[in-house]
Amino acid sequence: MKARVIMVASCKGGVGKTTVTANLALSLAKLGRRTLMVDCDFGMRCLDLVCGLSDKVTYDVCDCILRGISPERAAVRDPRSPSLWFIAGPYRYGGGIDGEGFRSFLETASEELSLDYIIVDTHGGEGVEFSLAAPNADIALVISTHQEASIRAAEETAKRISELGSAETRLIINSYDVKAARRGRLPGVLELIDRTRVRLIGIVPRDDSMLERQVTGSLAASDGRSRSGKAFANVARRLDGESVPLSVE
């Protein structure tokens, strides 16, 4: 398969998986990389909402894998970039997708849309999505905030990914509150790396405009001047092989 498959994971909900998926995908597309976002949070889909694309969705992942709709037909072009597409997750999932079916869906999508990247948003728990995505991913981004429960979940997530497949894991610290870390109120970057034992690829600052953005479907990565927008752009460039200095501001 030509496209690199990136899985976005944490077995805890609410840490920012969907936010990271949408913003990283747009950042990669802005680098000119042909990128597809796939919502694999079956039953709880919300990537379409975060991207503001709900009205444009006709088909979902299950239509592609179980009902013969081609990924090219199911993919919605994101109006923000000519290099960005989106395939929704199903509202309800009654089973029936196996690892081989999912792999073949990714391969067909990669070929039909000539993709460079496929970013797969996953579910927070031990859902089937996790075991479909992990063996097919080239790289798994483990998302953690610096809240205790999220750090523990990141450690567990990285362990499960390595049990399920050969994906490399990288840590994204999301919603980072630099002031709280400096005052010692919340664990800092080094403690997070030590505790999760995952190599760091980026830090996304806490950005209180995110909540509002989820309502309007606007993405921080659209705005190259915001701190979180810049952080997503930096992670995208690192994923794409550039050497970009880490910023903690």
Ligand X SMILES: Nc1ncnc2c1ncn2[C@@H]1O[C@H](COP(=O)(O)OP(=O)(O)O)[C@@H](O)[C@H]1O
Give contact residues for ligand X (rule: CB under 6 A): 13-19, 124, 174-175, 204, 206-207, 210-211, 214, 228
165 near 134, Cβ under 8 Å?
yes
CB of 215 to ligand X, least distance (A): 9
CB of 101 to ligand X, least distance (A): 24
Binding partner of residue 174 among ligand X, Mg ion, none, CB cut-off 5 to 8 Å per kind: ligand X
Of the two residues 113 and 127, which places its CB atom closer to Mg ion in the complex?
A: 127
- 50-60: burial string, b at 16+ Cβ within 10 Å, e else: bbbbeeebebb
Asked if 45 is part of the footprint of Mg ion (rule: CB under 5 A), the reply reads: no
Residue 177 Cα distances to 18, 111, 148, 165, angstroms: 19, 41, 14, 32
Nearest to 164 by CA among 213, 204, 127: 127
Of the two residues 112 and 156, which places its CB atom closer to Mg ion in the complex?
A: 156
Binding partner of residue 165 among Mg ion, ligand X, none, CB cut-off 5 to 8 Å per kind: none
CB of 17 to ligand X, least distance (A): 3
Length of the chain: 249
Helix axes of 17-30 and 227-239: crossing angle, nearest 10 degrees: 70
* Footprint on residues 1-30 left by Mg ion (CB under 5 A): 17-18
Binding partner of residue 228 among Mg ion, ligand X, none, CB cut-off 5 to 8 Å per kind: ligand X
How many chain residues bind Mg ion (CB under 5 A)? Answer: 2
Of the two residues 108 and 147, which places its CB atom closer to ligand X in the complex?
A: 147
Of the two residues 4 and 17, which places its CB atom closer to Mg ion in the complex?
A: 17
Binding partner of residue 229 among ligand X, Mg ion, none, CB cut-off 5 to 8 Å per kind: none
Q: Outline where DSSP puts E strands in 100-214.
A: 117-122, 139-144, 168-176, 199-205
CB hemisphere CA count around 195 (13 angstroms): 18
Classify 221 as helix, strand or coil. helix
CB of 246 to Mg ion, least distance (A): 25
Of the two residues 81 and 228, which places its CB atom closer to ligand X in the complex?
A: 228
Nearest to 113 by CA among 141, 79, 86: 86
CB of 122 to ligand X, least distance (A): 9
Binding partner of residue 221 among Mg ion, ligand X, none, CB cut-off 5 to 8 Å per kind: none
Of the two residues 58 and 149, which places its CB atom closer to ligand X in the complex?
A: 149
User: Residues with Cβ < 8 Å from 150, sequence gap 6 or more?
Assistant: 10, 12, 15, 144
Which helix (H) or strand (E) segment is 110 a member of? Answer: helix 99-112
Q: Which residues bind Mg ion (CB under 5 A)?
A: 17-18
